[in-house]
Amino acid sequence: MKMKRIAVTTLGCKVNQFESASFISAFQKQGCELVAVFENADILVVNTCAVTARAGQQSRQLIRRLRRNNPKARLLVTGCYAQMTADELPELVADTSLIVIGNADKHRLVKVALEQETQPPVKDIRTAREICPLPVQRFSGRTRAYLRIQDGCNNFCSYCIVPYTRGRCRSLSLAEVIQQVEIFVQEGYQELVITGINVGKYGEDLNEGENIYSLLGILCSRFPAMRIRLSSVEPTEVNERLLELMTGCSNFMPHLHIPLQSGDDGVLARMQRKYSTETFAEVVNRVHTALPHAAIGCDILAGFPGEDEQAAKRGYDFLAELPVTYLHVFPYSLRPGTAAAKFTDQIPRPIKNARVARLRELDTQKKIYFYQQHCGTEQNVLFEGIDEQQGLLKGFSENYIPVQCKGAAHLVGSVVPVRLLNVQEQGSVLGRVISTPDTPFP
């Protein structure tokens, strides 16, 4: 039988990236050949995103472009945008042969693609009660492994479409988590990023007695050679137990990403976030006091409905005073079906864009300050690749500083001691390798 040529492309979050890696692992297990997305393929898979209007637009454009480029391929679309638009998507892109796989049935995608199963109907994701089993063998082209331990969200923030596209919180069993980490260890990975839609709720839907804190403790203890990094955690879930793990476990990376969304209490209330700016500041300062060298990042939505100039200024000033390392700044994006989509006091795009630009400039200032504070120190850097323009190794320190160095290509995938020298114009830090490991990444 002819070997099938497969192309998989992914938009959006780390959870999507993990799921696409599972598709690729399953295709390869079936003897398929992985090809680049715009090569001639027998099967095309698009894992879409819908978190913003732009993400939805990019998903549509990519589907159309892939179909035009390869009209005879079997085309499967999954992910959050597919979940949202399952009924109209084939008509929207003028392709009645397009196959839509809902988020609750991603574990069936490969067999449907290979015509070993019939296409399941796209279910109402809110009825899903179990997480899709999606084992991964290896991440193509990546030296850090992602592990999705949880899916779904119960928060229903007023701006967010995710609970409607991902459903309720659902967790991977402890045994399945351990099994997946053991595979990554065997494959030679040295860093594991724990991810999910709302990882802090891990275990609440299981009857195993585990939660995110006990799970992290188990992973740090059982896999001492693996760097453990937590992708994102809500401010209400950053507690003393988490700080004890970060200060007590040498392989728990000193890096937290804590979504804020707004630095104004009135806006936070309209967003239906479950904390105040005072609470958030206490959390950040507690982390900074316990781990002064830790990177602390946060998400910010600019231009939320009703955010007047005073609220925007309060938010900016609040962030300017906080000891955070970096900001992920996005303009608020109206998502049909969410509570905020019905608010009448929407902010004009030019105003949103101006606020985004100002906050992103603050992000640059904060990152440079943090990087400068660490110049002259020795950091353990996981090299993830080579910057082709400069011919330098590139990677991240334990506290998430982007580092570039001269060095041999075989160091990619290795954790290497590096002396940080100075901040470069493009925002990374130039370093010098101090010593090299004996065993390169396979």
* CATH code of 201's domain: 3.30.750.210
Copy the structure tokens of residue 128. Answer: 């899903």
**Shared domain check, 103 and 10:** yes
Percent of the chain exceeding pLDDT 70 equals 98
Q: Residue 356 sits in a domain of what CATH number?
A: 3.30.750.200
**Shared domain check, 194 and 171:** yes
Q: Is residue 280 situated within a structural domain?
A: no
Lowest mean pLDDT among 84-88, 217-221, 344-348, 400-404: 84-88
- Average pLDDT of every residue of the chain: 95
User: What CA–CA distance (Å, rounded) separates 255 from 229?
Assistant: 7
Strand order in the sheet with 145-151: 170-171, 145-151, 191-196, 227-230
Copy the structure tokens of residue 221. Answer: 């203890």
Complete DSSP assignment for 24-85: HHHHHHTT-EE--TTS--SEEEEEE--SSHHHHHHHHHHHHHHHHH-TTSEEEEEEHHHHHT
Full domain range(s) for residue 410: 378-433
The strand ranges marked E within 342-377 are none
pLDDT in tens, 303-317: 999 999 999 999 999
Question: Mean pLDDT over residues 271-276, rounded?
Answer: 97
Does the pLDDT of residue 253 top 60, yes or no? yes
pLDDT in tens, 227-244: 999 999 999 999 999 999
pLDDT for res 353: 97
**Shared domain check, 63 and 47:** yes
Question: Mean pLDDT over residues 269-296, rounded?
Answer: 98
**Shared domain check, 154 and 77:** no
Give residue 52's Cα distance to chain centre: 15
Q: Is residue 241 situated within a structural domain?
A: yes
**Shared domain check, 383 and 366:** no
Q: How many domains does the chain have?
A: 4
Strands 295-302, 429-433: pairing kind: unpaired
Closest among 134, 138, 84, 81 to 105, alpha carbons compared: 134
Which one of 374, 398, 421 terminates a domain? 374
**Shared domain check, 137 and 247:** yes
Q: Residue 61 sits in a domain of what CATH number?
A: 3.40.50.12160
Question: Mean pLDDT over residues 296-306, rounded?
Answer: 97
Q: Residue 417 sits in a domain of what CATH number?
A: 2.40.50.140
Q: Which residue has the tokens 């010098």?
A: 432
pLDDT for res 340: 97
Does the pLDDT of residue 141 top 90, yes or no? no
**Shared domain check, 109 and 50:** yes
**Shared domain check, 342 and 394:** no
Which one of 68, 98, 123 terminates a domain? 123
**Shared domain check, 148 and 183:** yes
User: What CA–CA distance (Å, rounded) separates 45 from 113?
Assistant: 9
Measure Cα distances from 216 to 120, 169, 228, 235, 405 in Å: 35, 18, 8, 17, 31
Percent of the chain exceeding pLDDT 90 equals 91
pLDDT in tens, 348-386: 999 999 999 999 999 999 999 999 999 999 999 999 999
**Shared domain check, 360 and 307:** yes
**Shared domain check, 185 and 82:** no
**Could you tell me if 82 and 120 are in contact, meaning their C-beta atoms sit under 8 angstroms apart?**
no
Which one of 123, 152, 182 terminates a domain? 123
User: What CA–CA distance (Å, rounded) separates 350 from 231?
Assistant: 31
Give the residues across from 192 on adjacent strands: 145, 228
Question: Mean pLDDT over residues 89-109, rounded?
Answer: 92
pLDDT grade for 1, boundaries at 50, 70 and 90:
low
Question: Mean pLDDT over residues 389-400, rounded?
Answer: 95
**Shared domain check, 239 and 219:** yes
Question: Mean pLDDT over residues 112-133, rounded?
Answer: 95
